[in-house]
């Protein structure tokens, strides 16, 4: 009986990990490390060809965050940003919260439901260490392509 339960747990973990691996393939690169730990998806940044782009970011939280509606402490956040560099604004498309053992705690989607499919950029990019870092990485990549 005990072996059956262990096998079922192992099978659930295996299926879950392969399912996620197929749906989201990221190549995480360090943006900041030290007091603030942030990674970006290098594969997405490599394909940027205009001033508008989407980018996944992971942030490590020390100390852990608490959020209404999320039962456990959040130690990592994965966010899909939609950025328009030309107008200097960004929007959120998805946010996923994880605990200290990388278990997903909550997932939120803010993608547009309208029929036009237009992205809304709600937030101005002002004095943003995060976006300054992303733009520096993007500029390095575009300078290397010339």
Q: What is the pLDDT of residue 61?
A: 93
Q: What is the pLDDT along the chain (146 residues), one digit of tens a residue?
A: 544 444 334 434 434 444 444 456 889 999 989 888 999 999 999 889 999 999 999 999 999 999 888 889 999 999 999 999 999 999 999 999 999 999 999 999 987 766 666 777 889 999 889 999 999 999 988 777 65
8 Å CB contact between 56 and 82: no
Q: Which of 46, 29, 25 is CA-nearest to residue 37?
A: 29
Q: What is the pLDDT of residue 115?
A: 62
Q: What is the pLDDT of residue 34?
A: 86
Backbone angles phi, psi at 26, to 5 degrees: -115, 150
The 10 Å Cβ neighbour count of residue 129 is 11
Q: What's the pTM?
A: 0.77
C-alpha distances in Å from residue 63, one per residue of 60, 75, 76, 99:
9, 8, 10, 12
Q: What is the pLDDT of residue 36?
A: 85
Domain ranges of the chain: 26-145
8 Å CB contact between 105 and 74: yes
Q: What is the pLDDT of residue 114?
A: 60
Q: Which of 39, 99, 37, 31 is CA-nearest to residue 66?
A: 99
């Amino acid at each position: 009986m005990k072996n059956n339960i262990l096998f079922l747990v192992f099978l659930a973990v295996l299926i879950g990990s392969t399912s996620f691996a197929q749906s989201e393939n990221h190549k995480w690169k360090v943006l900041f490390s030290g007091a603030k730990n942030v990674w970006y998806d290098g594969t997405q940044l490599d394909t940027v060809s205009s001033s508008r782009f989407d980018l996944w970011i992971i942030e490590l939280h020390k100390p852990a965050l608490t959020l209404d509606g999320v039962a456990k402490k959040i130690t990592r956040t994965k966010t899909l940003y939609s950025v328009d560099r030309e107008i200097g604004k960004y929007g959120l498309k998805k946010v996923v919260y994880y605990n200290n053992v990388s278990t997903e705690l909550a997932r939120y989607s803010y993608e547009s439901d309208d029929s036009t499919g237009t992205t809304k950029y709600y937030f101005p990019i002002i004095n943003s260490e995060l976006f300054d870092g992303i733009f520096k990485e993007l500029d390095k990549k575009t300078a290397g392509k010339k």
